Structure 1
Amino acid sequence: MGSFINIRPRRKVLLVAAIVIAAAGIVLFAKSQMDSSLTDKTGIDMRKAEAVAVIAGDAWKADAVNGEGFAEAASNAGYALEFQQSTGQIRVKNLHSGEYWNSNPSPSALAGETVKGDLRTNLESPFILEYYEQASIQRKVANALGSGVKWTVAKQEDGIAVHYDLTQLQIKFTMVYTLTENGLKVVVPDSGMEENGNNRIVSIEVLPFFGANGTDEAGYLFVPDGPGALMHFPRSRQLIGKGYNQPVYGPEITTKSPNYDSTAVYPAVPVFGMKKGEDAFLAIIKAGASKAAIRALPSGVVSSFNSVSAKFVYREEYDRRLSLGGKATRVFEDERTPLDGEVEYSFLTGKEADYVGMAKRYRDELTSEGKLQPIQTAQGDVPFELMIICGNSNFYNKDYEVATTFSQAQKIINDLKQSGVEHARITLDGWQSHGRLYNTDPFNVEKKLGGKAGLKALVNKAHELGYEIVLNVDFVDADSEIDDLSPKNFGVRSAEGDVLLFGSDFILTPNVTYHLAEKLVHEAKAVGVDGVLYEELGNFLTRDYNPNYRYTRDDTALIYNSILDMTRKELGFSGVYQGNSYSFGHIDHINGIPRDTNHFYMVDEMVPFMPIALHGSVTYTMAPGNLRNDINAERLKGIEYGAVPAFMLTAESSRTLLDTTTYGIFSSRYEQWKKQALEEYADMKRMASTDNQPITDHYESAAGVYVTEYGNGVRVTVDYNNGRFDVEREASR
């Protein structure tokens, strides 16, 4: 009996332990099932855009060659395309103005050139091809003047195809030139590429010296640095640096590039241009933009000419490990990225031949593609933008630090309404448990803020006031130490095949991002949330070398856009940061449009190219009013550029965020910034008549005085000298 009595409690303990283990197993199994569902394929149709076919065509022969060796190859109502058989060069004649745009500088212009070797022959070639031998990793350069380079020309509809055979390298490719209504289209089709020997293509720069100009004529190069930037010629200041060379949408991070700079603002729009005298061109990279770089070389960098062009990158460099000890060497990808590189040149003359005309031409192109549509809201109904920071996790013990509860947020928006703010979009940041995505539940509302019930009450109050509630989320960046997420299961793979890690930080694979957004939208809709503002989806693009997906950058963009479309359909609003052009047509708002250049030494002037292209179709903000370096100057810049005023505020002091992962919020208390916010709302009401209007002109009327004109005749004049602005009607230069 005593033995039985002794064993019975032990059996109870074992039974309880077994139950606990079983329960834990069920929880872990359920979690694993939920986790695995995040890695499921999205169901999105991932079909690629139809590849450009190389049409064989009949051989083209020159009917009549002019004194300069060119013969007409095609023409339409506005332009004539001419080809020079001896060099492979082209030129386009504007039949209305008589202006020629040459693929390369003329022999007379080259007569005084002093550079030698490849730099000299590049000036006479319609392409610059980078390649490497498989036995080495050294980049080498080839052009049309190289030994053993041959070409044949075939007729195409409204143009010609030039088939290049680099016989010594055993590389072939094609450049197709086609006249359009607005100018010239140049395509390097993937189907025309062959690599038959030991040499592999790294990149092809298309028409690297198209329209290249010396120092004898005034003008500028346009590059998409920040909101837009100009590089004037002839130069009025010392030449410093190596020109402008930036990858569209940023470099490929999976290659662990040493050149990646997380603080840089990379080109958000795939455009570039040139103005010289009374003529200009805008070039749009219509295909292959995610694998393109824009290069602008002022006179004195590699030659005496000013030039701007696009380069398509077919293979990335990456670190390949040589041993388990981590030793690595830099190599190129084995497989060439399949892409059709396409650049379309639009020619502008007279008053349209400047950065304003370029931006308007880009807007017309986006509109014709269905990516931009006029804002449908009535004038004065564009909402004031207020982001309320709810809180975030403490660095040291991971406790959630509260900056604004949902009940405090109710008081703030109620006060705004009583103060005269008719319509506002309230974006909640840090509302999730731990202040960000934690585990695999995207709608885990922080209990200290009031939980889901508190969020629902806030949404109801906002709707009662005529306001909107939007949730700010990041489903791209993750931290394995904070987020309780597995990099192995959910992380993007690098070109080497390992999980791409930056300390404990990693990037969520695109289908995980999609499924998280899908779950969030479903649950947010149930409590009446009006939309989602997504971090990273509009300002970051990457590949994923996971063999289960093999996502290209274009695949990632497609998945991100599907998230934005789903959000708009279900909730009514989707927004992004910065606004990379692939998101156009899928968003309603851009939070923080690029507001400054990267301050490259070559850039002379910042201009509002993106605002001119987007205003009246997409709303956008610039620097939040409480986080500016120069409060008044940046406020005026927002007015000049047609931005909606915005603030990032809290109910408590910003000191509550001091030891959290929310950084850079130096002053945010609502009571301290209420007066400034209401003043900027009053500015916004003064400009209400421009809300749904396109920008039609922008210029400096006097030193420090800038004018922005709108489609309905309204003119906004910003005077940085006295810190004021005026709104007038029916005025134009």
Structure 2
Amino acid sequence: MKNKTMKKLIYAAGLFLLLSTQNVCAEKYENWSKRTLEANGFECASGTDSLELYVNKKDAVFAVRRLDSGYVWYSSPADWEGDAESSGFNKNALPSLLSITMKDDQGSLYPANSYVNAVKRGGFQVEKVDGGVKLTNTFKREGVEIPLYVTIEDDTLLLQVNYNEIWEDEEDVMRILDFEVAPYFGAAPDGEDGYLFVPDGSGAVINFNNRKTDSPYRQYVYGRDKSVIPTKIKNAAEDIALPVFGMKRAGGGFIAVIEHNAASAYINAESAGQKTGYNAVSASCIVRDFDMFSFRERTGTPRDIRIFQAQNPADSEDYFSVRYIFLDRDADSYTAMAKAYRSYLQKKDAFPSDKTKRKSSLMLNFIGAGVKKKPVAGIPSDVNYPYTPFSDAEDVIKNLQSRGVDSFTVKYDGWINGGILGKYPSSPSPEGNLGGKKGLKNLMEYLDESGIPFYAGADFVNLYSPDSTHIKELNANRAINRSPVKIPDYRLSTFDENTSRDSYPYWILRAPAVKKWYDRFLAELNSSYSGMGFAPDSLGNVVGSDFGRKNGTTRSGTVETFRSLLKDTRAAGHPLMLSRPYDYALGTASYVSDAPALSSRFEIESYSVPFYQIVLHGYIPFANLPANRTPGAYEYVLGLLESGSDPSYLWITRHPEVMRDSKLQWYTNTYAADWFDEAAALYKKIKPALDSVAGSEIVKHVVFPSGARITTYENGVKMLINYSGHEVTAEGLTAAPYSYASGR
């Protein structure tokens, strides 16, 4: 009897163990409980009210578990070893916390990943720190050591590398160029529905598993460093203005913010089937930059060699960090990502907290004076030509008012002595050919009485005409080869440098020089034009390094200098208009012009989305690119309605024939009189729709396979935008071909 009872007990225990094991195995990795994680080698390293951080010391990976949903995000795919689509280096990158690029003393480049080159060689250590762990990866063969801090704060994950903790073997010729942190964090396997988000231009979605190209996405934040000069422009890509990226998976999503040193970063994205069987997005940090130096050997054979930035990371107190903000399953779209990012900026006082009360307006950007070649005593010389006198701008506005346009925002470039793309703006002295001080005063008084915001533009970062005060050899950034950074005038036909006598190159100024001259200018502006709206565009969208050995400025240092100057300008009482500003400038902007309307449309991208505009709408008024500088009339109008953007135009009032042989010869379609009828008709057509959503956030944006899109605002208004050639019905709205419909 006892034997039978014992057999039953053993059988029951065995059955229970079997079923328990099956349940653990059947349980999806993303839904592992705390118990299951611990049973699989993960130890809880830290916890908050929202998250738990786990580390697997044996496999050198970590995981973050959300307490509300139970969803688990892994630093590497839990089942990476079974990936049939990758092999060799790519496969070994899957479980790696770091991927790096090294260079030797011959300039050859060598990639390495932490799994093979650190973990498998006994070079991985875990140390407890506040809020998480310090994961030190020693690449023994490469002679470099990189500690990665992994911590959780509230409901976010922070990954950070301190430059001065990067150790390099001085006796080794190998040196680190860049590193990628958690390249496969949250990676989604082939077959899962979802997408990656990249901030390319206005923003772009990369659908999982799209298999559109073999080329992954890789683009620099804020565009390529302006001090690394290509000898030839290969393609026209949109800049990354916002240092973020995101992922939407079946169980939730995240938006990641490159929190510190974004100016040294680039963003990577890949779709399953390109390198591995996973969809992934991540950020890399440049430690040492490099450029190509071209020359001809004695035989006449052209040759290119790499030249590298002379910088020791151990000498820097700076660091690189990426913060992951996790999103709920029912609020993980790119619209939700934009909202989370905006909230993040607001908490840092880097974005307005109050909604704008301003209705839509017609944004007019006038070009005042500009440099033109004219014969002087029979010799071709650069002279200033008045393309739009101050009095003409007033006449244009009155003309449009007579056609029913009742709201404007005005920007005026080239108003300073020397004009646009001419002499450096040393003082706020109005160009005499435009009407001088009296002409500007009359225009400003008229605009003020009419309630029209006015912004005077000037460029303080680019040097177009060096002189005895603004000497390029002393004040321009230095390239890696130590020469002053000169931006060539590229030929539109061949995309290489135009070296002819009539070319117009320019130079990028060092941040300390910009600050010195801008401070003087601002003091005079405060005295002569107190409270005047100002538009120092290049402080918000031109960022370069000074690679000079002595007193050089990093790209991130340039960002901080320009951010400070913009804050000083706002503190002095000047409202600011900025042209497609980068993230660091958004907190100072009263109005944004030239917002990017599309992505670069790289082959890997599934479609463009107005992420940039979703972040801004309701808080900062903005206009997309000018209508007369954008191909496709109906696409332009529909784009305004989709993103809630003001219409805008770039104009001169003198006949465009005068632009021939000038630096503005590519702007011949800017003659104001040619556009009056169209501008007035466009404004009156879309103003009611735009006014109905003024001051309202975009809470939902959907792209349909039909080519239609729908934008929903927090006040309930919906706009169905139909870019297709057939009628579309969605969410109770019907839009005719190439048209739109709005309602609630």
Deviation per CA, 1:594-615, whole angstroms, max 9, x where unpaired? Answer: 1111121100111121111121
Deviation of the 1:543 alpha carbon: 1.0
2:49 aligned partner:
77
Residue identity opposite 2:250 in structure 1: G
Residue identity opposite 2:382 in structure 1: K
2:147 aligned partner:
174
Residue identity opposite 2:67 in structure 1: L
Figure out how many residues of one structure are paired with residues of the other and give that number: 664
1:295 aligned partner:
268
2:371 is the alignment partner of 1:393 = yes
* Contact 1:294-1:309 at 8 Å conserved across structures: yes
Residue identity opposite 2:326 in structure 1: F
* Contact 1:469-1:529 at 8 Å conserved across structures: no
Which among 613, 616, 641 is matched to residue 614 of structure 1? 616
1:690 aligned partner:
693
Helix, strand or coil for the counterpart of 2:246? strand
1:8 aligned partner:
none
Deviation per CA, 1:337-371, whole angstroms, max 9, x where unpaired? Answer: 53312111122222212111111111110111111
Distance 2:361 2:551 in 1: 40
| Worse-matched range after superposition: 395-404 or 176-185 | 395-404
| Worse-matched range after superposition: 251-260 or 678-687 | 251-260
2:312 is the alignment partner of 1:336 = yes
Which among 568, 571, 575 is matched to residue 569 of structure 1? 571
2:386 aligned partner:
402
Q: Which runs of 5+ in 1 are unaligned?
A: 1-61
Deviation of the 1:528 alpha carbon: 5.8
* Contact 1:471-1:529 at 8 Å conserved across structures: no
* Contact 2:425-2:460 at 8 Å conserved across structures: no
2:438 aligned partner:
453
Which among 693, 710, 723 is matched to residue 720 of structure 1? 723
Which among 124, 130, 134 is matched to residue 95 of structure 2? 124
1:221 aligned partner:
196
**Gap change, CA 1:136 and 1:706, over 3 Å in 2:** closer
Which among 415, 439, 444 is matched to residue 399 of structure 2? 415
Helix, strand or coil for the counterpart of 1:80? strand
Deviation of the 1:95 alpha carbon: 2.4
2:675 is the alignment partner of 1:673 = yes
Deviation per CA, 1:555-581, whole angstroms, max 9, x where unpaired? Answer: 211221222223223352112222211
2:86 is the alignment partner of 1:115 = yes
1:34 aligned partner:
none
* Contact 1:468-1:530 at 8 Å conserved across structures: no
* Contact 2:85-2:275 at 8 Å conserved across structures: no
* Contact 1:456-1:528 at 8 Å conserved across structures: no
Distance 1:719 1:480 in 2: 47
RMSD of aligned Cα (Å)? 2.9
1:207 aligned partner:
182
* Contact 1:480-1:487 at 8 Å conserved across structures: no
2:416 aligned partner:
432
Which among 629, 632, 638 is matched to residue 631 of structure 2? 629
Matches within 5 A, 1:172-571: 172-197=145-170, 198=172, 199-235=174-210, 239-257=212-230, 263-319=236-292, 329-337=305-313, 338=316, 339-375=318-354, 377-380=356-359, 383-395=361-373, 397-436=381-420, 437-438=422-423, 441-480=426-465, 485-502=470-487, 504-525=505-526, 526-527=528-529, 530-547=532-549, 549-571=551-573
* Contact 2:601-2:607 at 8 Å conserved across structures: no
Helix, strand or coil for the counterpart of 1:592? strand
2:104 is the alignment partner of 1:133 = yes
2:658 is the alignment partner of 1:656 = yes
TM-score, scaled to structure 1: 0.84
Deviation of the 1:418 alpha carbon: 4.5
Helix, strand or coil for the counterpart of 1:176? strand
Residue identity opposite 1:445 in structure 2: P
Deviation per CA, 1:433-479, whole angstroms, max 9, x where unpaired? Answer: 44234156343433222122211221122222222332122222223
| Worse-matched range after superposition: 590-599 or 480-489 | 480-489
Distance 1:574 1:262 in 2: 31
Deviation of the 1:583 alpha carbon: 1.1
* Contact 1:375-1:692 at 8 Å conserved across structures: no
| Worse-matched range after superposition: 476-485 or 173-182 | 476-485
Deviation of the 1:386 alpha carbon: 0.8
* Contact 1:248-1:270 at 8 Å conserved across structures: yes
Q: Give the share of equivalent positions with the same residue, in percent.
A: 24
Distance 2:203 2:388 in 1: 37
| Worse-matched range after superposition: 410-419 or 639-648 | 410-419
* Contact 2:52-2:67 at 8 Å conserved across structures: yes
Residue identity opposite 2:371 in structure 1: S
Q: Which runs of 5+ in 2 are unaligned?
A: 1-33, 374-379, 489-504, 725-735
* Contact 1:63-1:71 at 8 Å conserved across structures: no
Deviation of the 1:505 alpha carbon: 2.1
Helix, strand or coil for the counterpart of 1:273? strand
| Worse-matched range after superposition: 521-530 or 320-329 | 320-329
**Gap change, CA 1:336 and 1:679, over 3 Å in 2:** farther
* Contact 1:254-1:542 at 8 Å conserved across structures: yes
Which among 709, 713, 725 is matched to residue 710 of structure 1? 713
Residue identity opposite 1:124 in structure 2: P
**Gap change, CA 1:624 and 1:64, over 3 Å in 2:** closer
* Contact 1:388-1:404 at 8 Å conserved across structures: yes
**Gap change, CA 1:307 and 1:330, over 3 Å in 2:** same
Residue identity opposite 2:89 in structure 1: D
**Gap change, CA 1:687 and 1:114, over 3 Å in 2:** closer
Helix, strand or coil for the counterpart of 2:634? helix
Distance 1:169 1:262 in 2: 35
**Gap change, CA 1:202 and 1:668, over 3 Å in 2:** closer
* Contact 2:601-2:608 at 8 Å conserved across structures: no
Helix, strand or coil for the counterpart of 2:123? strand
Helix, strand or coil for the counterpart of 1:538? helix
| Worse-matched range after superposition: 435-444 or 316-325 | 316-325
Distance 1:610 1:458 in 2: 33
Distance 1:307 1:259 in 2: 31
**Gap change, CA 1:69 and 1:585, over 3 Å in 2:** same
* Contact 2:531-2:574 at 8 Å conserved across structures: no
Residue identity opposite 1:684 in structure 2: K
| Worse-matched range after superposition: 407-416 or 365-374 | 407-416
Distance 1:463 1:389 in 2: 20
Distance 1:522 1:686 in 2: 42
